A and B are shown apart, each in its own frame.
Chain A
Amino acid sequence: MTDLAAEGRSVHGRRRRPSGEPPPLPYELNRVAIAWLVAFVGFAAVWAWIVFSDEPAIWITERDLELAGPIVDNRRDWLTPTMQRINRLGTSWVTPIIGWCIIIGGLAARRIRHVLLLIAALAVVAALSTVVSMEMARPRPLGVTQIGEWEGFAQPSRPVALMTTALVAGGLTLTPLGRWRRIWAFAAAVILVVFGLAQVYVGVDHPSDVLSAATSGVAITLLLYRLAAPESVFPIAYWTGKTAHLDVTGTRGEAIRLGLREQLGIVAIDIRPVGLEGSAGSTPLRISQQDGPDIFAKLYARSHLRSDRSYKLGRTLLYGRLEDEQHFTSVRRLVQHEDYMLHVMCRAGIGCTEPLGLVEITPEREYLLVTEFLTGAKEISEMEVTVELIDAGLAEVARLWEVGLAHRDIKPANVMVQDGKLRLIDVAFAQVRPSPWRQAVDLANMMLVLALGSSPQMVYDRALLQFSEDEIAEAFAASRGVTLPSQLRAQVRRDGRALLDQFRSLAPHRKPVAIQRWSLRRVGLTVWVALIVASLLSIFLDNLSDIGLL
């Protein structure tokens, strides 16, 4: 047995991951989150115990009063007004101000997911506080004169829990990981310690009320954010482009290198994002190899899967099931589909990029689709569109029609020109045996892309060499604003020549193809989504005060 075989490595550098060995980027909840969760579970266990027995409640209350005693017994005239002001601000003003600042800041930064998570975290923490306080029915500290504001039972301290939630959620929503996050965490900790001390000083909370509330707030918020908006997938960054793009430096960068080496035998010496402005559904990468030409890769994560799901749900609500709107159920299936479509396209002779394989970064969560890199290629919108390019572009559509395929995302960013040859990239939306409507839309979109760099008349004249007048008329009858990918729509609008109208006037008149599809499923889904949104909105508005936002 050779040394390579002993390591489980093939002569091509590839290596099968043995059972039990972690993948390149193992999925972890995060150690800090786990530590808070453990502390929270500890409090939950104590709460459960107290429900069944008075003994722990007596012991905890005695310890609480021992701890709070020196603070309360040493109230000073010069300090009391300040502590009362902190108590008043903390129970009435601070949390709503922080909460609304985060909501407004989050919406301004288009972090709707984070904003919804803040509201969810506040609701869950408020609900937990209600349930626990009802079960505990703990009075305010006994033997102590309360000189501050309070409401209801003591354990856990509701204002501390809500303020903690808002502060932790604020850090996770607004500050980038690293220095700013640390500064935020430090400031939040200072605010909470001061507020907690003030609560004990004015005699409205026991130390354990403050501690259990802060622990619940941190643990629940961290858990929700880590599960629904993990930093690795939804990083907080400013001025770095679209939020769909993942950071490929650090741990993930190392995992990509390891995965490429072990799964495809590719030794990457440099990984850098490329063409981010034209891509929203994945993170496109250019990878330099140690031996061989540069390669191209698209990194897919669960955020992209969710985007695909919301996009298809939105289309179903707006147009019905115009075509296959079945969403992908896992990232693996999403990349498998694109890899398959690349193979189908290349086999059919469409000018596509050669697929080189898939790399698993985190099982079911992150995958890399690797293809050849079109060295020296330019986006068609960056060059003059010649007659040869028009013919080539139209020929690609004709070929797609011939072999029963649709690209479904023809836009300038996906039509590349390399050495005078036209290549169609990004086949993530491509479909086998599409509807005639979708094939017609592909033709219209290609003609619009070509007309952006030339003239509608020239494109129309050349199209007549490969398509009939009726087919072109059908293409523009099927096409309208919503059928244009957003980049193409923006460029057509910016062009200002009313290209769609010009094409329609050149082609024979044809009644527009209806794109609304009504079915019981669509009606039911619309009603269901409306009900969910209305219920959530109603719960949110009805409980603004209870979740600390009013």
Chain B
Amino acid sequence: MTTHRLLLVPCIVALGLLGIACSIEQALPPPSCLGGGSELIVAQSVPTATLVPCLGPLPDGWEVASVRVDQNGSVVRLDSDRAGTDAARLVFDRQCDITDAVQVPSDQSGVPAYEAIGRIQPGFLGARTYTFDGGCVRWEFDFDHNVSATLAIDLQTRLTLVLRSEINRSIRENFIDEEL
């Protein structure tokens, strides 16, 4: 085997392995408020819900770790460079448990919000739930030690609840005469 083949073969194999390793996993984009992403299948994951969550651009230091969307609902996991891996989760479901939560002023107009705080220090642990007809959206936070809860407030502002009827209107106008 010549020297250049000796170098070429490992490079091709390494690239191939990298390519396969990166793409085998089912990676979904998060539901985006800017259109595209997984917004439609997220809406389909809770067909009873009148509102559907979407995320705007994330604050600095946050990134989407994984998105799972299936017939039981949707879960977006987020990592933070300060709050740690899997520090926040956005869950879209048919029902949410709010028995231990207290109602708080809501940042989503007309949608009641409930908060349950597990601990403030060390490391914030808590959940914020929005309930509406046919479904609910819940933020779950589990921050590393010594990370302030204010990081969660900034993240929560990136959530928007879109009317299902709005999504259906967009489908009819831009795609085909059907709805979710």
Contacts and interface: CB of A to CB of B under 8 A. Distances in A.
A146 interface: yes
Contacts of B24: 123, 126-127, 130, 539, 543, 546-547
Given A152-B28, A543-B25, A139 B70 contact: no
Contacts of A137: 29, 36-38, 40
B148 to A, nearest CB: 34
Interface in B121-180: 171, 174-176, 178-180
A129 B40 CA distance: 19
A411 interface: no
A540 to B, nearest CB: 10
Interface residues on B, range: 20 to 34
A130 B47 contact: no
A536 interface: yes
A57 B25 CA distance: 25
Interface residues of A, number: 40
Contact of B176 (A61, A124, A126, A151): A61
Interface stretch (B12-20, B57-65, B101-109): B12-20
B68 interface: yes
B20 A124 contact: yes
A139 B25 contact: no
A546 B28 contact: no
Contacts of A62: 176
B26 A151 contact: yes
A428 B65 CA distance: 56
B26 A539 contact: no
Contacts of B37: 137
B77 to A, nearest CB: 15
Contact of A152 (B13, B17, B26, B179): B26
A134 B29 contact: yes
Contacts of B110: none
Given A58-B176, A134-B29, A153 B23 contact: no
A539 B41 contact: no
A120 to B, nearest CB: 9
Interface centre among B29, B47, B176 (most CB of A within 10 A): B176
18 contacts: A54-B174, A57-B175, A124-B20, A127-B19, A127-B23, A127-B24, A130-B24, A134-B28, A137-B38, A137-B40, A140-B41, A142-B171, A142-B176, A145-B47, A146-B47, A153-B41, A532-B13, A543-B21
Interface of A: 54, 57-58, 61-62, 65, 123-124, 126-127, 129-131, 133-134, 137, 139-140, 142-143, 145-146, 148-154, 158, 204, 528, 532, 535-536, 539, 542-543, 546-547
8 closest cross-chain pairs (CB), A and B: A139-B40, A142-B178, A143-B178, A127-B23, A151-B70, A543-B24, A126-B24, A546-B24
